[in-house]
Structure 1
Amino acid sequence: MRSSAVSKDVNTVNKPAKSRTALIGGVSFLLVVLASLVFGAIKANQYLQDEQQMPVQVIDFSGDYQHIDIAKLERLIRKAQPGSFFALDVNDVFQLVEAQPWVYRASVRKKWPNTLKIYLVEQQPVARWNEDLLLNPYGETFSAEGKTLALPRLYGPGGSEKTALEGFNAMHALLATTNMDIKELSLSERFAWHVQLQSGIELNLGRQEFIDRLQRFIDVYPLLAQQEKAVKYVDLRYDTGVAVGWVDPASNTENKES
């Protein structure tokens, strides 16, 4: 009886020890597994970030464009995104591309395993604005980047771009029925319109009813063209009639008649 009791006591003492050993072993194994996973994740991330392992080999540009410098744009992208295919940030590339002067809109996406596809919509210049900028069809300005284009010249105070372009388009449509076209248009601080035609004739249209006044010029021009002297300018700010400045070839001076 006494021996049996001693045996039970020994078993009771050994059970907690075995449980602690098993717990320590389990925790150690778990720590090893976690460490392995972390190490593997670090290595995998390093591999994915390494440009030498997964480089962006091809930047494929598409779209209809004439003025965008594709070689320069590709250099900018590669300089800004030097990492691997997986590290490349599509949103950052999108913002970089759309920030370029001649890019109106763009879309950017990755194509497995090594290609970046970029679709470009180029700005469409319709006029030069205050010499140093260009206007697109929506009256938005963008940099000309030193390019010389045969475009009408529009001038006006800051913030009047859309107003000037709308006025230009309306006048251009009206003049489409004639052999005349606009070379230069100026909008003053008081929003008075002044136009120079391709022929060199200058038109002072004033602030109001400028389309009606332009139509008046179109109506009266055939009579003016019959004169021996060339027309220098026409002031149409009068309710009735016009003031005409003539070029005198002999003296190279202007004569004015109302």
Structure 2
Amino acid sequence: MSNLPVLDKPRKVSQFYVGIAFFIAVLVLLIFAWVKISAWLEDEQQAPVKEIIISGERHFIQDQQIESLIKRTQPWQLFELDVEKTHQTVEAMPWVYRASVRKRWPAGLEIYVVEQQPVAIWNGDMLLNQYGDSFNAQVEEDGSAENIRLPRLFGPGGSEQTALQGYRNMQSLLDVTELHIVEMFLSERFAWHLQLNNGVKLNLGRTEFIDRLQRFVDILPLISQQKKQIDYVDLRYDTGLAVGWKASNKAA
């Protein structure tokens, strides 16, 4: 019985060294895995953006414009690319109304674009979208101005939405005729002046301009029977109107 402890001692020493060896082996494997993962992450961080996917209905924006802008303003590595800054950069483009940007693994970027919808030319050098917001872009650059035939609206700064709503209301009255507004002037005192596609100019004044335009529509068949060409119609009267006729080109 006195020899049993002597026999157990070598076994305990052997188990101790086996445990140490196993611990060292696990530690070596963990260090090896950490080195490999670090190297992989470093490689991934340097991986370039290989694909940009752009979606959304677009008429004035070219995909190459968006790609070129991102390349100029952002690092071309997917991990280093800042999604929020990219979003702000894309949304600052004149023809972009709204945009969303997200990374697409392993090496792609997805961009969804909502394009501005121009409905009028504002003060000769700006455009209005469907919400009455002005933006600085030139429709003529794409050769589309004649195709979309935007009306030209003029007014004081800050009156964009008022002018656009007034234009829409008045054009809806003219839709029953073959006339449409090609130019509309809103003065500093908010008096309305129109020029129609037939060349006729209308002075509607500041108040009751919708009722006055309706009066013009009602009496248009009567004054159109005249053999003279209308130059302007002044509707700034409680009742009635004044018509100016173009001078005859015939020699007296």
TM normalised by structure 1 equals: 0.78
- Alpha-carbon separation, structure 2, partners of 1:166 and 1:71: 35
Amino acid across the alignment from 2:177? T
3-state secondary structure, aligned to 2:70:
helix
Q: Which residue of 2 aligns with 1:228?
A: 227
- Alpha-carbon separation, structure 2, partners of 1:222 and 1:86: 69
Amino acid across the alignment from 1:235? D
Kindly indicate whether the alpha-carbon contact (under 8 Å) linking 1:233 and 1:246 is maintained by their aligned counterparts in 2.
yes
- Alpha-carbon separation, structure 1, partners of 2:72 and 2:52: 13
- Alpha-carbon separation, structure 2, partners of 1:42 and 1:86: 14
- Which consecutive unaligned segments of at least 5 residues does structure 1 have? 1-32, 253-258
Q: Which residue of 1 aligns with 2:214?
A: 215
CA RMSD, 1 decimal:
2.3
- Which consecutive unaligned segments of at least 5 residues does structure 2 have? 1-29
Which stretch of structure 1 is more off in the superposition, 222-231 or 138-147?
Answer: 138-147
Q: Structure 1 stretches (4+) deviating beyond 3 angstroms?
A: 39-49
Kindly indicate whether the alpha-carbon contact (under 8 Å) linking 1:107 and 1:120 is maintained by their aligned counterparts in 2.
yes
CA shift, 1:87, in A, is: 1.2
Which stretch of structure 1 is more off in the superposition, 166-175 or 73-82?
Answer: 73-82
Q: Which residue of 2 aligns with 1:49?
A: 45
Could you report, residue by residue, the CA deviation over 1:73-108 in whole angstroms, capped at 9, with x for unpaired residues?
111101212241111111111101100000111111
- Alpha-carbon separation, structure 2, partners of 1:92 and 1:154: 34
3-state secondary structure, aligned to 1:164:
helix
Could you report, residue by residue, the CA deviation over 1:209-250 in whole angstroms, capped at 9, with x for unpaired residues?
000000000011111100010100000001111111001223
Paired residue total: 216
TM normalised by structure 2 equals: 0.80
Q: What percentage of aligned pairs have identical amino acids?
A: 54
Cα distance change of structure 1 residues 83 and 41 upon mapping to structure 2, 3 Å threshold? farther
Kindly indicate whether the alpha-carbon contact (under 8 Å) linking 1:48 and 1:87 is maintained by their aligned counterparts in 2.
no
Q: Determine if the alignment matches structure 1 residue 121 to structure 2 residue 121.
A: no
Give runs of aligned pairs for residues 1-258 of structure 1, distance below 5 A.
46-50=42-46, 54-145=47-138, 147=140, 149=145, 150-250=149-249
- Alpha-carbon separation, structure 1, partners of 2:250 and 2:127: 38
